[in-house]
Amino acid sequence: MRRVSIFDSTLRDGAQGSGVTFSVEDKLKIVKILDQLGVECIEAGNPGSNPKDLEFFQRARQIPLRYAKLVAFGSTCRKGRRPEDDENLRSLVQAGTDFCTVFGKCWRFHVDCVLETTEEENLRMIRESCRYLKAHGKEVVFDAEHYFDGYKDDADFALRMAEAAVAGGAGMICLCDTNGGVFPEEAAEIVAETVSRLSVPVAVHFHDDCGMAVANSVVSVLKGASQVQGTFLGFGERCGNANLSAVIPNLQIKLGIDCIPQEKLAALTHTARELAAVSNLDLSANLPYVGENAFSHKAGMHADGVLKAPCSFEQVDPFLVGNSRRFPASEISGRAVILAKIKTIFPDAKIESREVQEVLERIKELERLGYQFEGADASFELLVRKLLAPFSPFFELLYYHIYTDFAAEKDCGASATVKVRVGGEIQLMAAEGNGPVNALDQALRKALEVFYPVLSHVKLTDYKVRVLDGKNATGSSVRVLITSTDGVRSFTTVGVSNDVVAASWKALEDSMEYLLLKTNGACGK
Amino acid sequence: MRRVSIFDSTLRDGAQGSGVTFSVEDKLKIVKILDQLGVECIEAGNPGSNPKDLEFFQRARQIPLRYAKLVAFGSTCRKGRRPEDDENLRSLVQAGTDFCTVFGKCWRFHVDCVLETTEEENLRMIRESCRYLKAHGKEVVFDAEHYFDGYKDDADFALRMAEAAVAGGAGMICLCDTNGGVFPEEAAEIVAETVSRLSVPVAVHFHDDCGMAVANSVVSVLKGASQVQGTFLGFGERCGNANLSAVIPNLQIKLGIDCIPQEKLAALTHTARELAAVSNLDLSANLPYVGENAFSHKAGMHADGVLKAPCSFEQVDPFLVGNSRRFPASEISGRAVILAKIKTIFPDAKIESREVQEVLERIKELERLGYQFEGADASFELLVRKLLAPFSPFFELLYYHIYTDFAAEKDCGASATVKVRVGGEIQLMAAEGNGPVNALDQALRKALEVFYPVLSHVKLTDYKVRVLDGKNATGSSVRVLITSTDGVRSFTTVGVSNDVVAASWKALEDSMEYLLLKTNGACGK
């Protein structure tokens, strides 16, 4: 079976998309998610232009990766400078990755008008930069910037630049459609010709400015490209990069060309949701294969057809990519998927049982309110345990009062009072915080630690707020995700309300309960 | 110059997309918007399956259309039934349009297993349905459902079905990729062969399940298709239809094939925004050509290149499609970008001036705190105006107090008290809300409306919260973005704090100030 390598640039080109920002923690999480999917290369940052990226690479080196190799990205040395004197290239070496991508100009217009140098100097910059990195033990991918535009302008010029990189030791040449203006027939022709001319494998990198990045990637593979660069959700400069969540199943399911381990295909949809959650961005419902609507049949005639024979209105089976069929009109969604999740907690659960039906009903109801249990496994497990097994609560909230205060020439702040009952005892506790949620969190923790000292080890490590329906503005529903750790395990809980404090409370409550369940067993005091 | 006809199905296939619903009023507005753009055909409904559509067609007939023809959509007669006895076909006639689309099966598997009839009967249904509509004076487009899948299974079978429609009087055959699974090379081959075999013009209709609908449409035109069916924003069943807002400029700007009147091209972006507004859906920022980010240059090196020569990182000039270049101020972008943005407000600003240096310093400082001005142009403009021109504030906050309350068996809620000074006058106002932010918003608005009645027209239309560094969890910094409208303009403001209420306050304050600045001029009371 033919194989194509998948190169994800969510953390580099993706981060160049408007509205996309990642903290170092986010980046580490995304590396793990992509590795778990079996992606081969993860381009993770540009240490020369962003000093935060060096810190990231230092930490990333400590993550054990099963499938993926980390790649650092940067430009060739500047004109008139030797590679060893160029801080960009030096920081590429310092990043400590086995692989580097280095980009250089391949369009005469850019060499003349943007770089303002000669062809000879540009050739030197490309050749010597690759050689320098190679001499430092790196595997080098040369990103041939504007390759397609440059080729259309002067094919031999573009090819000479690519050949200079090969001469310098680059092990792969990536043909970049930097401006995103290439059409499939052009892509096919230029890739075929370039593959036949170069002595090393060829990769492709398309942008979506004409809405054709996925198509261009696929036709390029059919013409001999060995690697597709893109971003898993299509994030990237301007209209974004080739969306790998569509490229991978197009190649692997439709054309039989291996991209990721076969058993990982069914994780595509889950991976898309995890990545969107970490990025705090909406996953577009219409995304091919992994979108919520990708297998949603709204027209009655289509729904009838699919119930008779799924392939009558589905190009592939949704289960292959871990997605599920939806019939929005008739509300028959995703039961098999939820049952499979329930079985990870109670292996004997049966779809026919009344209790399991109750769980399904309850989840559907919560989803209508805006809950989403993808990325909130602890809340899901709690919900299932509460409905399928005896559960007595560890604590009960009687009330909270929060006072938030601001006055000119004074710091703003908040204080919270929380009253809880644990077993027969009542505890009233107060605390201050930066804002109402932080104050509530502190007060609850102080109150519960009296009864459950184990909670003193718990730390909240992440807090995310997502507004669900912006139309009601400050009165909109919000979904809060809280990630906690007790030093051993890390888990995420969810709450929804049209009050950010109440939504946070629900997620906080779940996080305390989940930890107590895991350390104290199924019953409270 | 070659011409291709554009056929928009937003109101029919688009309405089959999840989350898309149109009232009759919405549909009438969309017809006018598409006609104004110069689209040739508007498929506006399925009167046989949706009785509301008959009412719509009656009203739509009264709209004077300059460019567009309305098209009614329906299926062939049922098996065993004559066209004149089939209520679907009768309602197509009743719709009163000059054009009708009638769809029929072209894949043997569907004829056998979904329709459960014979080839002969299917041929009859197609032929007689077309003939019936033709006899009633209609121009008939035959939608060859599943044409590509049917052709791949048995090319002669699919062609026989299309020829039956031609024999019945259809003036155009539309080849439909109903399941959205076709790849560009297949599309090219099948369209070329079909065009050469049929005696009438061929249209194409692609779905985006592989992310290739736009590419397939373009390659089909290059192989002889005379019409592209799609939806202007890509709405449609499952992953949607071919997105015409990308197809049109791809054909007209890049390939020189006329689709709409040349002078209408610059209305593409505005049309996209109007359509999204009527549909009450977000316009995806990454849409090719018409998205907010389509010409947005975030990486410093790209921004520098575009400032030297736009075509260095733009495949077409944004002004051709009525869009504009953006340099989102961000950690990746350089000083040149920020200066270019300042110049849109103060054209004479110079990089050397002390005031401009101050703005740059202030922006860098705010970005370190977590501010991000991309997507918050109103806050950016306010900041620049405050630093570069005399500005006296419209109001001053003396204090706010917010009380948030929850008790068992009682709804949670919040109340806020706000004290502001405007000129020499003090106003104290209180309000309740869903949560602390909503209560604060209500109270502030009530207090300021006393002085500035114009604020009663302001509505907040979107509210977004992003946690910047989850590590401190509920004590983390948050960035709040608020979008407001006064019915005419829409603008976004930003606030950052480690208290969600204080961050919201800053964004709220900016939104009020920005609107007052725009309506009252540069000075407050």
**Nearest CA-CA partner of B403 in B390, B417, B389:** B417
pLDDT tens, residue by residue, A245-256:
999 999 999 999
Total domains, chain B: 3
Q: Is the pLDDT of residue A524 over 50?
A: no
CATH number at residue A438: 3.30.160
CATH number at residue B112: 3.20.20.70
B501:A461 CB<8 A:
no
Give A11 to chain B, closest Cα distance, Å. Answer: 13
Q: Which pLDDT does position A472 carry in this prediction?
A: 66
Q: Which pLDDT does position B472 carry in this prediction?
A: 65
Q: Which of A284, A296, A437 lies at the smallest CB-CB distance from B474?
A: A437
> Which spans in A73-183 are helix H?
87-94, 108-109, 119-135, 147-153, 155-168
Residues B245 and B191 in one domain: yes
Residues B316 and B356 in one domain: yes
Give B64 to chain A, closest Cα distance, Å. Answer: 31
Cβ contacts of B109 on chain A, cutoff 8 Å: 309, 311-312
Residues B73 and B150 in one domain: yes
Whose structure tokens read 């107590």? A516
Q: What is the mean pLDDT of chain A?
A: 89
Give B138 to chain A, closest Cα distance, Å. Answer: 25
Quick check: is A135 in a domain?
yes
Last residue of a domain, one of B337, B362, B387: B387
Quick check: is A95 in a domain?
yes
Quick check: is A512 in a domain?
no
Interface check A51 vs B, CB under 8 A: no
Quick check: is B174 in a domain?
yes
Residues B55 and B178 in one domain: yes
d(CA B48, CA B175): 22
Residues B491 and B372 in one domain: no
Residues B462 and B516 in one domain: yes
pLDDT average, residue stretch A214-242: 97
d(CA A364, CA A358): 10
Cβ contacts of B408 on chain A, cutoff 8 Å: 396-399
CB atoms under 10 Å from CB of A90, counted, come to 17
A23:B286 CB<8 A:
no
Interface of B with A in 117-176 (CB under 8 A): none
- Chain A residue with minimum CA distance to B410: A399
Quick check: is A40 in a domain?
yes
Q: Which pLDDT does position B255 carry in this prediction?
A: 97
B462:A467 CB<8 A:
yes
Q: Is the pLDDT of residue A393 over 50?
A: yes
Cβ contacts of A16 on chain B, cutoff 8 Å: 298-299, 302, 332
A250:B285 CB<8 A:
no
Quick check: is B287 in a domain?
no
Quick check: is B275 in a domain?
no
Last residue of a domain, one of A260, A284, A304: A260
d(CA A138, CA A72): 10
Residues B94 and B212 in one domain: yes
Residues B326 and B346 in one domain: yes
| pLDDT tier, A151 (very low <50, low <70, confident <90, very high otherwise) | very high
Q: Which of B211, B291, B463 lies at the smallest CB-CB distance from A473?
A: B463
From A190-204, A406-420, B263-277, the region with the lowest mean pLDDT: A406-420
Interface of B with A in 60-99 (CB under 8 A): none
Q: Which pLDDT does position B75 carry in this prediction?
A: 95
d(CA B125, CA A352): 44
ipTM, two decimals, is: 0.74
Structure-token pair, residue B250: 């791809």
Q: Which pLDDT does position A330 carry in this prediction?
A: 36
Interface check A474 vs B, CB under 8 A: yes
pLDDT tens, residue by residue, B409-438:
666 688 999 999 998 899 999 999 888 888
Quick check: is B436 in a domain?
yes
- Interface size between A and B, measured as CB pairs under 8 A: 388
Last residue of a domain, one of A230, A260, A290: A260
Q: Which pLDDT does position B391 carry in this prediction?
A: 86
Q: Is the pLDDT of residue A329 over 50?
A: no
Please answer whether residues B339 and B285 qualify as being in contact, where contact means their C-beta atoms are separated by less than 8 angstroms.
no
Q: Which pLDDT does position B522 carry in this prediction?
A: 43
Residues B411 and B360 in one domain: no
Residues B321 and B443 in one domain: no
B433:A239 CB<8 A:
no
CATH number at residue B401: 3.30.160.270
d(CA B397, CA B395): 7
Residues A250 and A399 in one domain: no
Question: Which structural domain, as residue segments, surrounds residue B435?
Answer: 396-520
Share of chain B above pLDDT 70, in %: 95
Interface check A490 vs B, CB under 8 A: no
Quickly list DSSP for B397-463.
Answer: EEEEEEEEEEETTS--EEEEEEEEEETTEEEEEEEEESSHHHHHHHHHHHHHHTT-GGGGG-EEEEE
| pLDDT tier, A408 (very low <50, low <70, confident <90, very high otherwise) | confident
Interface of A with B in 229-248 (CB under 8 A): 234, 237-240, 243, 246-247
